Amino acid sequence: MMTDWASAFGNADLGVEQALADLEREKQKLREVSKIWEESTTTVRAKDNSFSMTFDGRGELTDVSFQGSKYRSLPPAQLAHHIVEAVRQGRNEAMAKVEKVMGTGATGLDFAGVAGGKVDPMEMMNSLLGPMLEGLDGLGMSVPDPSDKGKDKKSE
């Protein structure tokens, strides 16, 4: 008896192909984000122009520059408020550059959340690779669960 493998596994093959295509698109986005992280800077000025702050591509503060001596005449609470406001604005603008490249894409992955520490990278990768692994399971191939790594199989 001959088996028609194309029809038997057609749906699983499509799932794997789609997952691989999604993975490749996300890898390209990650390459673009790496370039932003390495090369991009964002500079913001305090509303009163008393200082400016520069942030790297990851949104980390790299430089503070005071213009003149205006900052010296500000009440400490007001200067502190301007500093916090500028840090928040600079980080948001830096992260917006990453979000523009990454978005959420067809996979619904939140790369800005990962960059900002709000999303677990392993959860994100599992959501990306999940459809591919399900497709392999549909082909009758056993795929080890990475969360089982290091568990003692003898005790089961």
Alpha-carbon Rg for the chain, nearest whole angstrom, is 24
Closest by CA to 26, choosing from 117, 123, 101, 95, is 101
Question: What mean pLDDT is predicted for residues 143-149?
Answer: 55
User: Which residue did the predictor score with more confidence, 79 or 117?
Assistant: 79
Its pTM stands at 0.58
Each domain of the chain, given as residue ranges in start order, spans: 22-141
> 8-47 pLDDT, tens per residue?
445 556 677 877 888 888 788 888 888 988 999 999 999 9
Question: What percentage of the chain's residues is helix, strand, coil (to nearest 5)?
Answer: 60, 10, 30
pLDDT at residue number 22: 80
pLDDT at residue number 123: 75
Q: Which fold has domain 22-141?
A: Ybab; Chain: A; (3.30.1310)
Q: In this model, does residue 98 exceed pLDDT 60? A: yes
